[in-house]
Every structure is written in C-alpha cells, then in structure tokens.
Chains A and B, each alone.
Chain A
Amino acid sequence: NAGVTQTPKFQVLKTGQSMTLQCAQDMNHEYMSWYRQDPGMGLRLIHYSVGAGITDQGEVPNGYNVSRSTTEDFPLRLLSAAPSQTSVYFCASSITGTSSYEQYFGPGTRLTVT
C-alpha cells in the first residue's frame, strides 16, 4: 500500500491564482480530511469527508473548496490564492468506527503564495 499520497510537494502561486492540491489513499478509508499547519498554531482542520459524496467544514474552511467523488480521492481547491494561505497542507485518512479514528497522514504540500 502507498498509504496517503499528496501532490505536489511544493508549489508557489501568485495572489489570485487557483490550484488544486491532490490527495489519494489506497486503504479504502471512509474518512478523509485536510489540515493546514502554521507555526505556533498547530494543525487546523479545513474540510473533511466521511465518505464519497459527503463533505463538511472544519475550523478554517474559508477560501477552500473540496469534493469527494470517489473513496480514494479528496482534492482541495484554492479558487483565488491569498498570502494568508501560505502554509503546509496535510491530507489524512482513517477508518471510522468506535475503536479507530487513527489518522494516517500524507507527506504534505508546502504552498507559498506571493
């Protein structure tokens, strides 16, 4: 199993540009989520999904869109990038259930918006 994969690893955008961060998992996990990691602020939940066709907002959803058309993929879209979105983005997945919720994280995407 490849686990959770993310592309690209690094990206530089100009203010106002759009892009999609890709996330895929091959573990048949129902739950997938996106976090951003900023110094001194830990990981903050952007959006999450409990299954194909179902998404919901996390703590900091503004400026980001998601969709979940398949179990495997959970892309994160930035429609109009802003410098405040400069961050490291992590995708994670897990089995839902009473004894799990252990999240498996991808390697991250480091995004810089100039």
Chain B
Amino acid sequence: AQSVSQHNHHVILSEAASLELGCNYSYGGTVNLFWYVQYPGQHLQLLLKYFSGDPLVKGIKGFEAEFIKSKFSFNLRKPSVQWSDTAEYFCAVRFGNTDKLIFGTGTRLQVFP
C-alpha cells in the first residue's frame, strides 16, 4: 500500500541549530512531493513542493528539501532554525496519477531561544 512515513515525531532544537526532518514513502512510480507547515493555532501552509527537475528544491523561509529517488525520500532541511519555526511539519505525497494527497503523521518542532 502507498504510505508516507515521518519517523521524527518530536524534535527539540536551540536557535541557530541545523534541522533535518525525514520523509519516506513507499511507491516505485512517479510522485509529487510536498512539505506543509502548521504554526500553532493556524491552518496548513505550503512550504515547498517537488514535481520534476532539480531534486533540490527551495521553499519559503529558508527551507529546502532534497528528493532522493533511490531512497524514496524527501527530507526537509534548514541550516539555522529560529524560534518562529516552532510548528508542526507534514510531508505529503501524490502517488502517480491519483487525485489523492496522502500525508505523513507529522513532526512537531520546538525551537528554544
């Protein structure tokens, strides 16, 4: 079955630390990949997306993600986090030509000053 896994459930960092959140999916075909962020009390917003081309994609607020097809992964990175990055982060995948977008279970990030 097609699935999306986020193995880091809760990450705690100090400001200026580097961040990498893992996302893996199970599917051998074409995928479209997304990272969404949900700030406390707010609805989900798109951080970045990958459809094709350069596997390193840059998003808003200094975030980037790398698509590694051989590892079925789409990890999110940021070189230096800020307190305002405290939020929940969701990886989402559109598998093949389906219309469904499947989300991972999310990673809660807490950044302390």
Binding site for B on A (CB under 8 A): 31, 33, 35, 40-45, 48, 50, 56, 58-59, 90, 92, 96, 98-99, 101-103, 105-108
A-B contact pairs, 19 of them (CB 8 A): A42-B90, A42-B103, A42-B104, A43-B103, A45-B101, A45-B102, A45-B103, A48-B99, A58-B100, A59-B102, A96-B99, A101-B94, A101-B101, A102-B46, A102-B49, A103-B44, A105-B43, A105-B44, A106-B43
Set of chain B residues within 8 Å of A99, measured between Cβ atoms: 51
Given contacts A43-B106, A48-B99, A108-B43, 19 further A-B contacts (CB under 8 A): A35-B103, A42-B6, A42-B103, A42-B104, A42-B105, A43-B44, A43-B90, A45-B100, A45-B102, A48-B100, A50-B99, A59-B102, A90-B44, A96-B99, A101-B34, A103-B101, A105-B43, A105-B44, A106-B43
Total contacting residues, chain B, CB less than 8 A: 23
Interface string of B15-27 (1 = CB under 8 A from A): 0000000000000
B32 interface residue, CB < 8 Å from A? Answer: yes
